[in-house]
Structure 1
């Protein structure tokens, strides 16, 4: 769950329609929404009750329509949802941050499942959300993906939601741009799940 993209292709079936800005997963109880200009890519989205994976990209590119909205950055977003009693981000963010810096935690964040490929560049908690800036030198899931990316972890309706902002080598995101995108992604999730986020807080 922590690696996010590691879930791709591992669970469930594709869901949703091309070009939609949101999708309900985890028994329909969690709504995943991205910042303006990002749409759900249904063919890479998986949902199987207790766990789900959602990929979001440029709406214009996904729909192949010049009239569709486009985000101000060149990036792909992912969201992984999992029901778990193991940790609550709001009350255990420091524990989670420490775990992610451990060898086991870095291995979970690694695309190759190898701790030595991952460096934690920064991490901090804000508003019951844990933000983590990482560098992963292992082979990318797709050609041209950047090694550095931001992640965010938050609670939604008894589930841990792990978000990731993945940039591209050809048009890399600065650390500030990546963090801003992660915060916008978190805001979109919280606005789409107001009751359940409020209960978690």
Structure 2
């Protein structure tokens, strides 16, 4: 990677830092993540972006965090299931994006470097993170991450996608319970559904 690209990629990924998500995830896990009757959709950043998950997922209002520059939204199953279901999270930044695929393709490689892994890390320590898979396809950065800094209630391996939505940069994650980890393809399938849903609700204008 050319040295001149580093400031650009750091500016792109800094608002997506895993550290921002750690506190609300930890707090939510302490409540045992019960099914919720919350709304299926929530608009954040002054209505700029709609957050919604696949069918059957609702917003956990208690875990939502929003500032002037970013928002974190947690989604859990709306109804009780016999087997604990993965939870979903969306981090929406105020950072504008023109959706240039070259930028996101370069980001895919950068996130496997030490500075990139530091941004993905829940603790900010790159040694906590191993990027097991990193691909760019369909305008999305797809990541399979192992992070030893994940809150204890969650499996250390999880899927994450980074993509432009409604002109903003968004990161979406699928986290399984520590005692009920998902199979690789199952987690990726849920994440793909999450990406499709986010694109659909924001295409409505």
TM-score, normalised to structure 2, is 0.79
Matched residues in 2 for 1:60 and 1:148: separation?
25
Q: Are 1:124 and 1:132, in contact at CA under 8 Å, matched by a contact in 2?
A: yes
Quote the RMSD (CA, aligned, Å): 2.5
Match of residue 77 from structure 2: 58
Unaligned 5+ runs, structure 1: 11-16, 62-69, 197-201
> 1:10-159 residue pairs with structure 2 within 5 A?
18-60=37-79, 74-85=85-96, 88=99, 90-138=101-149, 140-141=150-151, 143-159=152-168
Post-superposition shift, 1:86?
Answer: 7.6
1:2 corresponding residue in structure 2: 16
Structure 1 ranges of 4+ moved more than 2 A? 1-10, 47-50, 70-73, 85-91
Q: Match of 2:185? A: 176
Please say if residues 58 and 76 of structure 1, whose CA atoms lie closer than 8 Å, have aligned partners that are also in contact.
yes
The Cα of 1:158 is off from its aligned counterpart by 2.0
8 Å CA contact 1:40–1:55 kept in 2: the answer is: yes
Question: 1 CA distance for matches of 2:45 and 2:94?
Answer: 8
Q: Note the alpha carbon deviations across 1:106-160, whole angstroms, 9 max, x for none.
A: 011111111011111111122111111110112x32x321010000111122210
Query: What are the Cα deviations for residues 64-92 of structure 1, in whole angstroms up to 9, with x where unaligned?
Result: xxxxxx69871111100112258846331
TM-score where L is the length of structure 1: 0.80
Residues 39 and 154 of structure 1, relative CA distance in 2, 3 Å threshold: same
Tell me the alpha carbon deviations over residues 7-31 of structure 1, each in whole angstroms, 9 at most, x when there is no partner. 4658xxxxxx952111001111210
Structure 2, unaligned stretches of length 5 or more?
1-14, 25-35
| Cα distance change, pair 35–73 in 1 and its aligned pair in 2 (3 A) | farther
